[in-house]
Amino acid sequence: MNIKRRLLITVMALSVFGAASGMAASADTIAIITPSHDNPFFKAEADGAQAKAKELGYDTMVLVHDDDANKQSQLIDTAVAAGVKAIILDNAGADASVAAVQKAKDAGIPSFLIDREITATGVAVSQIVSNNYQGAQLGAEEFVKLMGESGEYAELLGKESDTNAGIRSKGYHDVIDQYPDLKMVAQQTANWSQTEAYTVMESMLQANTGIKGVISGNDTMAMGAWAALEAAGRTDVIVVGFDGSNDVRDSILAGGIKATVLQPAYQQAQLAVTQADQYLKTGSTGLDEKQLMDCVLINGDNAAKLETFALSN
């Protein structure tokens, strides 16, 4: 089973590699490894990295680990065996990924991490992560303002195993808990899922008819919650999300969800490739390993400028 799976992955990876390198066989290759592209956020990362790599004259090998640390480890082996020059990685777990990145380093392949941190330094060359805490504070400040600093609200939490779920919740409460007239009457996980958020929101509404606002750990859950609120005729409820997806942008422009927080996924992935290129050419990025990227508040004022996790000027 395991061997079969590994072979399959290898074959898939090689075919991607083969297809990419078919154009210019002599070009160096950069591996781009992210969670599943089913979530448009990760698709935007892969697209951003790929576009920048192409611009800088690299071939690419695009792979997905589906948030499975074992699969990630196998993909790193595949990339190393294929002779890639650098790895761009949105990793499958802060602790579990350290060994995988170390393995690449031992093979002489530098890794450039995006979106999520790992719990060790000196293993990857760069760790460029969205400042989720700062972003959550921005979202919470807007939420507090929209709520008029008082009223009952509910929180939808992300998947517990994802560190960003906890970071965002902490960032929200860092701000909201400074307002004693804001009362959290329900808090539950919907595992980043739209359908799950719909049912969770339904039951929250039944138990708490006085809910005035909902703060959500990401945009897909915000979309699910908004659908449930619409179905219940409660479009007066203030909803704030996180990620800056096109779905939520459209909802904001249509007067539905009130705000979200953009993580500049596309730009972040491009930055990682630029640093990889710099490192390969000069042996150094000239920058600290751990780099934060600020998130940006999206509301009715700037939603129209948002497209695929990037804000135009």
Partner 1 sequence: MIRITFLTACVVAALSLSGCKLVKNTPDDEKAVAADASGDDARTDQRIADTFEPTLLPFVREKALEVPVLRSLLSRGLDAAGQAHGNRGAGQGAAWNFALTGTGTVVSAKLDTRARVADLDTDADGVADLTIQLGPVIRGTALRDFAPFYKFDDFRDQIEFAKLGRALNDRISGAIVLPEGDLIGRTMTFTGVVALKSADEVLVMTPISVGVTP
Find the shortest distance in angstroms from Cβ 12 to partner 1.
33
Find the shortest distance in angstroms from Cβ 180 to partner 1.
8
Q: Residue 98, exposed/middle/buried by CB under 10 A (0-12, 13-18, 19+)?
A: middle
Is 243 a binder of partner 1 (CB under 8 A)? no
Site for partner 1 in 175-204 (CB under 8 A): 175, 178-179
How many angstroms separate the CA atoms of 28 and 17, rounded? 11
With a CB cutoff of 8 Å and minimum separation 6, the contacts of 126 are 112, 113, 272, 275, 276, 279, 285, 287, 289, 291
Find the shortest distance in angstroms from Cβ 133 to partner 1.
4
- Which alpha helices (H) appear in the chain, and where do they start and end? 2-21, 40-55, 69-81, 97-106, 132-146, 163-176, 194-207, 219-231, 246-253, 265-282
Find the shortest distance in angstroms from Cβ 9 to partner 1.
31
Of 216, 206, 244, 222, nearest to 156 by C-alpha is 216
- Both tokens of 10, joined, read 């290898």
Find the shortest distance in angstroms from Cβ 233 to partner 1.
31
Is 293 a binder of partner 1 (CB under 8 A)? yes
How many angstroms separate the CA atoms of 212 and 210, rounded? 6
Is 213 a binder of partner 1 (CB under 8 A)? no
For partner 1, which is the closer residue by CB, 132 or 251? Answer: 132
* Residues facing residue 155 across a β-bridge: 187, 215
105: three-class secondary structure by DSSP: helix
Among 38, 95, 170, 209, binds partner 1 (CB under 8 A): 170
Site string for partner 1, 245-284 (x = CB under 8 A): -------------------x--xx--x-------------
Burial 199-211 (b: 16+ CB within 10 A, else e): ebbbebbeeeeeb
Among 102, 131, 188, 274, binds partner 1 (CB under 8 A): 131
Is 137 a binder of partner 1 (CB under 8 A)? yes
How many angstroms separate the CA atoms of 7 and 55, rounded? 31
Among 66, 106, 149, 307, binds partner 1 (CB under 8 A): 149
Is 305 a binder of partner 1 (CB under 8 A)? no
Is 121 a binder of partner 1 (CB under 8 A)? yes
For partner 1, which is the closer residue by CB, 48 or 224? Answer: 48
Selected range binding partner 1 among 43-51, 165-173, 209-217, 299-307, rule: CB under 8 A: 165-173
How many angstroms separate the CA atoms of 136 and 118, rounded? 20
Q: Which residues bind partner 1 (CB under 8 A)?
A: 117, 121, 128-129, 131-134, 137, 141, 149, 167, 170-171, 174-175, 178-179, 264, 267-268, 271, 288-294, 296
